[in-house]
Amino acid sequence: MDGLRERLERLLEQRNPVTDALQALEARTGIEKRYLAAGAGTLLSLYLLFGYGASLLCNVIGFAYPAYASIKAIESPSKEDDTVWLTYWVVYALFGLVEFFSDLLLFWFPFYYVGKCAFLLFCMMPGPWNGALMLYHRVVRPLFLKHHTAVDSVLSNLSGRALDTAAGITRGVKASQAPLQKDK
């Protein structure tokens, strides 16, 4: 438990918009920012359990800060932060795909949105405990390396067919317009 407390303390000492807001609240209220963070986490968990719009709140948490951090990463000269956030978005997209098919069942579990929110926070956690990087290296990357040639082949075939279909439609439209042009 002390290790978790130490990690939380280190996390609260980093400079980011959340810790800046906690610092400002600490200055105004006199309540230590670790207690403010614990209270905010408790209120958030309770709202995700019992509040109206928990799905929206959970999706905002999973999207708003990562989108902001991704824009900052794009604008920074370092490529390491780009890789971290690209990895997050790959895992987020795969999670969204899996969730689409399982949502009808999982939606009825009482702690679904708390679990989903915890998973998304785990995926965006900084440092060595970044869940997106863990999942990418343990699940996504091995699957990608195993199947990417077959997927590339299918995508190439589909794009060729799409181009042929588009060319056929274009030829058909031009051929149907030819008699109209002669009448003028």
CB 73 within 8 A of CB 85: yes
Q: pLDDT tens, 41-84? A: 888 888 887 878 788 888 888 999 899 999 999 999 988 889 99
CB 77 within 8 A of CB 55: no
Distances (CA, A) of 75 to 12, 40, 70: 24, 30, 9
Beta strands, E only, 16-126? none
Using CA atoms, how far apart are residues 71 and 75, in angstroms rounded to an integer?
Answer: 6
For the entire predicted model, the pTM comes to 0.69
Using CA atoms, how far apart are residues 171 and 180, in angstroms rounded to an integer?
Answer: 15
Is residue 184 over pLDDT 80?
Answer: no
Report the amino acid identity of residue 116.
K
Q: pLDDT tens, 130-170? A: 899 999 999 999 999 999 899 888 888 888 888 888 888 87
CA 25 to chain centre: 28
Count of C-beta atoms within a 10 Å radius of residue 165: 10
Is residue 11 over pLDDT 80?
Answer: no
Q: Which two tokens stand for residue 142?
A: 């091995």
DSSP labels, 87-111: HHHHHHHHHHHHHHHHHHHHTTSTT
